[in-house]
Amino acid sequence: EEEDFEKTYHNYNQMLLTLPRAKGWRAQHVVKYRSHWLNPNTALKGALLLQNHFKPKPTDTFLAAFMKSGTTWLRSLLFATVNRSRYDFSSHPLLTTGPHAVFPFLDSYIYDKHPIADLDSLPSPRLFATHFSHDLFPESVKGSSGSKFVYIWRDPKDVLVSKWHFMNRLRPKELPVLTLHEAFELFCDGVSEYGPFWDHVLGYWNASVEAPNKILILKYEEVKREPGVHVKRLAEFMGVPFSEEEGEGGVVGEIVELCSFDKLRNLEVNKTGVSRFNGEVVVQNRDFFRKGEVGDGKNYLTEEMIERLDRITKCKFEGTGLEF
Ligand code: A3P
């Protein structure tokens, strides 16, 4: 087995020398691996370990999203929903640990402990968050006996602006600031970490059309409009629907409140704490909570930019059933 890891790391080193490169939003470069743009030092390594060494369990659930589409929020909602009988809302782990500590971010966690993290010892059923595209998962995970995915997507105008803010916060000071104009052009070309955005959404969407019991698709704007309705959908999808008694006791409302933007943002851990994703990426928790609104992209983009981005989205999603 040790030899297998060596082979993967050898392949990884070879790939670093040969894969096409483009400008990165956080680090200097992203590399193109199987039509996806990935950070060469982090996500690419994670993707190779996932494909070659991940041992799935049928009870695994992956919370997947393109960056800045609502991972932090959905993490909290998913964790609070599936663990609702374990924790009291007044002393809930989310109040003290922050959403990113309640279950691992697969993409970096998988290689955090060389050569691979011990994922078998995680409590079962395992929850993982990920930004990997659906097609980067091995067949053993994607297949019909495999795991569940909860996917959240969001208006790309808001994703672009949210990501632009976030990545500039993380960008090392020695690199020049990424301008919105540059970020926009790169985004339209599909070039940003885990991009292209549209392929990411379509990959999960198409897979969910084939196996709706395995992949639940949520949309940020809709969850925002009716959070309770979507928490109920989430519970049903996870096989733990709310009972009548819970309905009367207002449990759904408690989960929605606990995970709301204002509640989470104002917790001490999210005002002053940090989340470490590996040696390279350390994020101030407060950077996961910016505005939490629908439509903020329009406050930054010109009419022309909005038209161009909407046109690309309409064209890419046309005929798929995805409502934009
Ligand atoms: P904005 O930058 O538009 O405010 P991710 O969690 O995938 O990194 O996405 C981050 C985006 O989700 C940010 O969007 C952030 O403010 C928003 N967000 C974080 N927590 C939220 C919550 N509890 N409810 C709604 N939006 C939230």
pLDDT tens across 183-201, in order?
A: 999 999 999 999 999 999 9
Mean pLDDT, residues 146-165: 97
Q: Active-site residue among 92, 131, 134, 230?
A: 131
Of 299, 313, 294, the closest CA to residue 196 belongs to 313
Model confidence at 294: pLDDT above 90 = yes
Contact 266, 273 (CB under 8 A): no
For atom 27 of ligand 1, the residue with the nearest CA is 292
Q: What are phi and psi of 29, to 5 degrees?
A: -130, 155
Distance from the CA of 279 to the center of ligand 1, in angstroms?
A: 24
**Which amino acid is located at 225 in the chain?**
R
Distance from the CA of 7 to the center of ligand 1, in angstroms?
A: 38
For atom 26 of ligand 1, the residue with the nearest CA is 292
Distance from the CA of 181 to the center of ligand 1, in angstroms?
A: 22
| Nearest-angstrom CA–CA distance, 19 and 39 | 11
Strand partners, 38: 31
Q: Is 195 in the pocket of ligand 1 (CB under 6 A)?
A: no
* Whole-complex ipTM: 0.99
**Residue 230 among the catalytic residues:** no
**Please, which pLDDT band fits residue 114 given cuts at 50, 70 and 90?**
confident
Token reading at 247: 């309905």
| Nearest-angstrom CA–CA distance, 259 and 78 | 10
Given the CA of residue 76, which atom of ligand 1 is nearest to it? 23
Token reading at 257: 């409140």
